[in-house]
Amino acid sequence: MIDPPIPFFLPEVGEDEIREVVETLRSGWLTTGPRTRQFEQDFAELVGARHAVAVNSATAALHLALDAVGIQPGDEVLVPTMTFAATAEVVIYLGAKPVLVDCLPRTLNINPEAAARAVTARTRAIMPVHYGGRPCEMGPILDLAERHGLKVIEDAAHALPARYGDRTIGSIGDATCFSFYANKTITTGEGGMLTTDDADLADRARIMSLHGISKDAWRRFTAEGNWYYEILRPGYKYNMTDIAAALGLHQLRKAEEFREARQRCARWYDEALVEIDAVELPPPAAADITHAWHLYPIQLRLERLSIDRGEFIRQMSAAGITTSVHWMPLHMHQYYRETYGYQLDDFPVAREAFDRLISLPIYPRMAQEQVQRVAATVRRIAQENRGT
């Protein structure tokens, strides 16, 4: 009997979400409206922020955050090279320059000391990315920002729910941006959220998220609304729909339950993989952080193997197990090399990690038997392909 495939991720959508979406469809209010506003309120309360602005992607949230803090053409923004394209792309949208920074070797989060060395007179912001759901070292990052007058825009696409010290991610930086894409820790299919304690920043983001129309534009379609509106600024089309928010309302209530399930998977992996000398496991969560465990990334010790990472992944796939790689560092992509002159070896920690990284499947409904099968396959491939 052939074992069924193990996907990299499966979303966890229950009957509560389905009923809410159906009720939304029957209500006649499909786009931004009362469910979106309720989702914002509930989200702000969960993360301990004063304001939350729901949008159609984390990319949109990052763009709005940078716009709202006043990033201008010619400015520089510190961005980790070990991140997804969106983190740096939004800097470019505003005519500013993403200045790439190397990562720490174990956590793969931005290296605060390297960030400090990258600051210039044109630096206006820093964008820490909480890699895989593990919070960055926010203390040194906040200190750096205070010394140089920088805004802190957190890319928390992987980090709901997570905590750094006694604060929840979403309540620390000037703005924090979350993703609700299909494979994230909670999902609205597509979607994102910007959180902040700054009322002016939230107002600017909300206005710019819907064509620059005066705030609460959706109210003009309600009984207490008015047909009249004005365009205050040239904005974007980034609003979240009530259909998406209907999913989010119930996903949010399960966020900690989902996190605990992923953490159990991570512990099962730790126990099953710890003695494989060709594999380096993600570091255990420090006592002062709560890890969201969006990813479980391993790093191959290639010097102990006769195959490279690509062949390792191919053999995992042949065994019916889907894996991924997070990520190819930005400085290695053609655009960043040709546009900003980055060389492949400019950020050696990220470069070396990229050659060794594999993200293993991890999701709430994953059973212990599936984790054990993934681990057994990693062990078998490592043993069959030992280096000489």
**Helix, strand, coil in percent for the chain, rounding step 5:** 40, 15, 40
CB 61 within 8 A of CB 30: no
Q: CA–CA separation, 150 vs 91, rounded Å?
A: 15
Please name the helix (run of DSSP H) or strand (run of DSSP E) that holds residue 16, with its range, or none.
helix 15-27
**Coil, helix or strand at residue 219:** helix
CA 150 to chain centre: 21
Q: CA–CA separation, 179 vs 244, rounded Å?
A: 12
Q: CA–CA separation, 298 vs 274, rounded Å?
A: 11
Q: CA–CA separation, 197 vs 187, rounded Å?
A: 24
Type of residue found at 224: E
254 included as an active-site residue: no
What dihedral angle (degrees, nearest 10) is formed by the CA atoms of 110, 115, 121, 127?
10
Q: CA–CA separation, 319 vs 314, rounded Å?
A: 9
Token pair belonging to 362: 């991890």
Q: Any idea what the Cα angle at residue 84 is, between residues 14 and 333, rounded to 5°?
A: 145
Q: CA–CA separation, 363 vs 258, rounded Å?
A: 8
Token pair belonging to 290: 């709560």
The alpha carbons of the chain give a radius of gyration, in whole angstroms, of: 22
Out of 184, 215, 237, 254, pick the active-site residue. Answer: 184
Residues designated catalytic: 184
